[in-house]
Amino acid sequence: MDRRRLAAAAAALVIAAHPSSDAWASVGDSVTDLMAVVNGSPQALPYPQVIVFLNFQIHPLTYANGADGTCAQASGGVIGSIAFSGDGRVTGFTSDSSNLVSPDTIFGVPDLFAHEPYHVAPPAPATCATSMANLRTDGTQVLANAGDAHLSGDGRFMAFVSASNALLPAGEDTNGAQDVFVRDFELGVTERVSIADDGSEGVLVGAPGTPTARTPDISQDADGCYVAFASRATNLVPGDTNFAEDIFVRDRCLGTTERVSVSAAGDQASADSYSPAISDDGCVIAFQSPAMDLAPPMDVSFLDDIFVRDRCLGTTEQISPADVDGFGAPSYGFPNLSGDGCTVVFGTDDPNLVPGDTNGVADTFVVDRCPLASPIVYERVNVPDPSTGQSEADMGSLVAEVSANGPWVVFASQATNLVPDDTNAQQDCFVRDRAMGRTARVSLDADGNEIARGGFGPHISSDGRWILWGTIEALFPGDGGLDGDLFIVANPLYDGP
């Protein structure tokens, strides 16, 4: 299941830290004591973890101080999109809570929020910064379902999708389709990015259906300049005549739109393309497509493959093996890309990528492409820790995320043999250290114990230090366990500064 579709709920933040370390170096102001804020009240907690609610009530829609920033538990839950900024400071999520911002004037409709916690030394409480994303530029709340959230490196920008025509001034959004938007939390500006160079909205000419845009990913540069997305629109670039869903990159800084699901010669794809992931500098885009003509040799399987387009060099590579004889190669999907564009992660049930793949389930693989070896070398990463004495997972994993330059990969799996003492028979969240050859479970309670209901949706910060995950397990005081929660934990395999 796509991590972007996993249901979550009322969120909380957990940061694992040793008492002698700076627990807040990447997520807030430094403190010397380990504290928790529970329903707005600070209280001491023992090593090894600090717990702070992640989704707070805040007045107004700005970074608050004092009483206006006092934290309160959300009235509802996170019900869809989960996002994590590259610096590990900001979390984005979809929620039906009515008290995350005040006033919340549209009831019963899920909204997108971004939250950044700030912590100060006791006895002062934490101040809590929660902002709604699906707003008009004038700050007006609208009846606008939104999802597919992705955050820029510092969390200032959120890319998302919405079918609402109310996010723009009256008369500007008339295509009757889902579009891609970016919210600038600092300037309070919402802009549509699934548009042509001249600002024209996406339309579908000469074919039935709507010019739906979806699955955005935003670059991790400071300006959030580049947004990759998929769209069926035929007018975003000249010469779009394939009537297929294509991958585009919008340069918000230059105001240009480029189609990237093309061959090295610039020829358009013969089939749909989707699920883009973009590098920090906006040059490299990974995506999946069943098209047979994007890169040699011609693939005749008519099933999804993984491609990488370098728009700066003008190259297109097929990362998954090409089926040149039509003997039924497997499908490959769920691409993710490291920040430097050099490491590609994807999922497949192909048993022929690495020796000894006999588990009969889908696995997660990594390819290092700087440079791309010939033949391509595949590394399976959803593998047991050496302490288990096992060589491959007993259940599968498809969706994963990689850190900025590729050392760490996080993924979810129902496998029971990736780490010792996994007895909950649930999907858990794991991190793989590729250099050390180690695997660790991160979906644990504050004492490092297994939780009964497992975890979902792991994301990792660019430097690999912090991991975001969720669970429906009640792990903190006052949590009734009816909704899921989001947590940030320190990567237990992190060995950097």
- Domains of the chain: which residue ranges? 1-132+445-497, 133-259
Peptide bond into 371 cis (omega under 30): yes
| Mean pLDDT calculated for residue range 275-287 | 97
Q: Residue 325 corresponds to which tokens in the numbers above?
A: 């004889």
> Residue 56: pLDDT above 80?
no
- How far is residue 213 CA from its own chain's centroid? 17
What's 66's DSSP letter?
G
Phi, psi (rounded to 5 degrees) for 97: -65, 145
* Rounded Cα distance, 329 and 333, in Å: 13
> Residue 26: pLDDT above 80?
no
Confidence (pLDDT) at 78: 66
| Mean pLDDT calculated for residue range 20-44 | 31
Instruction: Out of 65-74, 82-91, 311-320, pick the least confident.
Output: 65-74
* Rounded Cα distance, 415 and 480, in Å: 28
pLDDT band of residue 55 (cuts 50, 70, 90) is very low
| Mean pLDDT calculated for residue range 223-229 | 94
Report which of 87, 6, 94 is spatially closest to residue 412, judged by C-alpha positions: 6
Q: Residue 466 corresponds to which tokens in the numbers above?
A: 């912090």
Confidence (pLDDT) at 119: 35
Three-state secondary structure call for residue 388: helix
Three-state secondary structure call for residue 5: helix
Confidence (pLDDT) at 354: 98
- What is the Cβ-side half-sphere exposure of residue 177, based on CA atoms within 13 angstroms? 21
Instruction: Out of 82-91, 114-123, 156-165, pick the least confident.
Output: 114-123
- How far is residue 343 CA from its own chain's centroid? 16
* Rounded Cα distance, 370 and 354, in Å: 20
pLDDT band of residue 479 (cuts 50, 70, 90) is low
Q: Residue 206 corresponds to which tokens in the numbers above?
A: 């000469």
> Residue 68: pLDDT above 80?
no
Per the model's pLDDT, the better-predicted residue between 89 and 232 turns out to be: 232
Residues in the chain: 497
Confidence (pLDDT) at 142: 86
Per the model's pLDDT, the better-predicted residue between 199 and 69 turns out to be: 199
DSSP letters spanning 426-456: S-EEEEEETTTTEEEE--B-TTS-B-TT--E
> Residue 351: pLDDT above 60?
yes
Asked if residues 6 and 480 have their Cβ atoms less than 8 Å apart, the reply is no
> Residue 64: pLDDT above 60?
no
pLDDT band of residue 75 (cuts 50, 70, 90) is low
Sheet holding 189-192, edge to edge: 146-151, 157-162, 179-184, 189-192
Confidence (pLDDT) at 89: 83
pLDDT band of residue 470 (cuts 50, 70, 90) is confident
